[in-house]
Amino acid sequence: MSTRGEQAMQALSKFGELAWFALPVENNPTYGCPQMPYMGWRYTSPREGVAELIEDAVRALPTQVDWALDRTRKNWVLVPTRPLCDAQGLANPAFSDVVHSINTRDQEFCLKALTDFKLIIQRLQQVPIPEDKNG
C-alpha cells in the first residue's frame, strides 16, 4: 500500500479498529494522470460520535473542494461532494462513471482534491480522541 494509504489508515485507526479500508491509486495506471482521491472504510464497531468528529475535522479545514462523509451504506466514504451530487449518491451505478469522467477530464479538480486530501489526513492524525465514557 502507498505511503498515502498507510497514513490514511493510521489516521482512521485512531478512531477505532478498521475492518476494511480502500483508497484508489493516486495516478491512473493507464493514463498516468492524477486521480480524484476518496477513501472508504468500515470500523468493526464504530464508537459513538466518531463520524461527527471526522466530519467536524474536515469541515474546519480550508479545502479547495467540498467534501462529505457518506454513511448511507455499510462502508463510510470520504469523498468530494461533486461526484456524489453528479451521480445523486454512491448507490447510483453512475457513480463510478462520474468519477472516471472527472479523473480523465478535469485534472485541475483532481489536483485540488489531492492537495485537500493530504491536508485532511494530516488533520485527522492530529485530532485528539475523546476518552471513552464507558471505559
How far apart (Å, rounded) are the C-alpha atoms in residues 22 and 89?
18
User: Is 135 among the domain residues?
Assistant: no
User: Is 103 among the domain residues?
Assistant: yes
Domain that holds residue 42: 3-126
**pLDDT for 133:** 52
C-alpha cell at 133: 465514557
In the chain, the number of structural domains is 1
User: Is 132 among the domain residues?
Assistant: no
Non-local (6+) Cβ contacts of 40 within 8 A are 20, 21, 22, 23, 75, 76, 77, 78
**pLDDT for 1:** 54
User: Is 43 among the domain residues?
Assistant: yes
Question: Residue 84's domain is classified under what CATH number?
Answer: 3.90.1150
How far apart (Å, rounded) are the C-alpha atoms in residues 98 and 113?
15
C-alpha cell at 109: 479538480
How far apart (Å, rounded) are the C-alpha atoms in residues 97 and 38?
15
**pLDDT for 2:** 63
**pLDDT for 28:** 82
* Type of residue numbered 101: S
User: Is 40 among the domain residues?
Assistant: yes
Non-local (6+) Cβ contacts of 92 within 8 A are none
User: Is 24 among the domain residues?
Assistant: yes
pLDDT, one tens digit for every residue, the chain (135 residues): 568 889 999 999 999 999 999 998 888 888 888 999 999 999 999 888 999 999 999 999 999 999 999 998 899 999 999 999 999 999 999 999 999 999 999 999 999 999 999 999 999 999 987 676 554
C-alpha cell at 20: 476494511
